[in-house]
Amino acid sequence: MRSETSKFQPLSPRPATILVVDDTPVNLQVLVRILDGNGHRILAATSGKSALDIAERVKPDLILLDVMMPDIDGFEVCRRLKANPGTSNIGVIFLSALGEVGDKVAGLELGAADYITKPIQSEEVLARVASQLTRLQLEREVRASRDSLDQELGAAAAMQRLILPPELRPIGKLSFATHYRTSRYVGGDYYDVVALPGNRCGILVVDVSGHGASSAIIMAMIRAAFHAYSSPAVDPGEVLKYLNRQFQFLWSGSSMLATVLYAVVDTEQLQMSVACAGHPEPLLLRQGSVSGIVCNGTLPLLLMEIGNIPVIQFELQPGDRLLFYTDGISERQNAGGDMFEVGGIEAVLAQSHHLQSEQLMQSIVAGMEEFAAGTEPHDDQTLLLVTAS
């Protein structure tokens, strides 16, 4: 038997552990001899129970598994292996005299990678084992690459969180509550609240198109440009024009854009001025009623030169709630493709108007998630709730 198999090359680039399971000693010896001499560690088991015990302890790369065994048959062994997270990634090749298509399909549906019909041919066994070991090694490499990428993206997500403002403390008569979620590890949404001279504060909400690394880079650049503004950022229109000019390199040859809303609020007199570049208008919750604050804005930023940007004036009242959001909230979809829409946000605001700020924010998120019914978001989501006292 050694002379028959010596012409074959090693089964995979690295040695593997192979468990052979058969309740017939002669068959077991034949399989071990076929596989021996290829650089792999060969283990043997004569029952389904011992196979499960060895698999749990050793975690072999591949199991050649007889179907017809007296205690626990091969199908049940495979079912238990695949149900156990610790052994679910082990490759399984069934060995059986059952050659019916239905038997083969049943085995493959249990998660087996292949099916060899007895009587066993050594060349076929070696070829199929080599193929499966190569596949398993490629899967391991893919998982390792994925895990490494996950770690890098996780670090990027943590870094992006650092450039968002920390816990927002009250400024004058204003207090804040926020919700922020990216559809992937990193995203293009950004919000900020900054103290300004004269008892004022600036409120910035940005939504860069797309989601992922490119959007996150632009988001970080907008944040840097905003904080580099040389004079107090008290003129919303000029701030938006300034931000747009920092991205002239994108005005031609790029499909990137950013919707932006910037508001300046006198935190004592509760007077607000707002400039909008294609961003959803904020929602006002006043005495249980919800309305939108109409902003006659301009095109989104990052596309071209922008002229004068309209600035609207608005007076807040004590007890008002002002909700800024990105369209990842209103465009959240359910399984049928329906959107939560602005009406969904307004409905939750009206129903939950009596709640404190944090609870009101949680209610909005809960209402959106209930609408989505488990459907994952396709866009980043930002909510910034401002309460006047």
Collapsing DSSP to helix, strand or coil, 298 comes out as: strand
Q: What are phi and psi of 368, to 5 degrees?
A: -65, -45
Sequence ranges of the domains in the chain: 2-143, 164-388
In the chain, the amino acid numbered 189 is D
Topology agreement, domain 2-143 and domain 164-388? no
In the chain, the amino acid numbered 293 is I
Give 343's contacts (C-beta < 8 A, 6+ positions apart).
none
312 and 254 Cβ atoms separated by less than 8 Å: no
Strand extents, DSSP E, 153-295:
174-181, 189-196, 200-208, 258-266, 271-277, 283-286, 289-292
Tokens for 197, please give them.
């001279």
275 and 236 Cβ atoms separated by less than 8 Å: yes
**Residue 335 exposure: Cα atoms within 13 Å on the Cβ side:** 3
Helix or strand (DSSP H, E) at 156: helix 122-163
Other beta carbons within 10 Å of 206: 25
Domain 164-388 has CATH 3.40.50.300: no
CA distances from 264 to 235, 258, 315 (A): 8, 19, 11
Domain 2-143 has CATH 3.40.50.2300: yes
Over residues 82-97, the pLDDT tens digits come to 999 999 989 999 888 7
Q: What is the full per-residue pLDDT of the chain (389 aa) written as tens digits?
A: 344 444 444 444 478 899 999 998 898 999 898 888 778 899 999 999 999 999 999 999 999 999 888 889 999 999 999 999 999 989 999 888 766 666 677 777 888 888 888 888 888 888 888 888 888 888 888 888 888 877 777 777 777 888 899 889 999 999 999 999 988 778 889 999 999 999 999 999 999 998 778 888 999 999 999 999 999 999 999 999 999 999 999 998 889 999 999 999 999 999 999 999 999 999 999 999 999 999 988 999 999 999 999 999 999 999 999 999 999 999 999 999 999 999 999 999 999 999 999 999 999 999 999 999 999 999 999 999 999 99
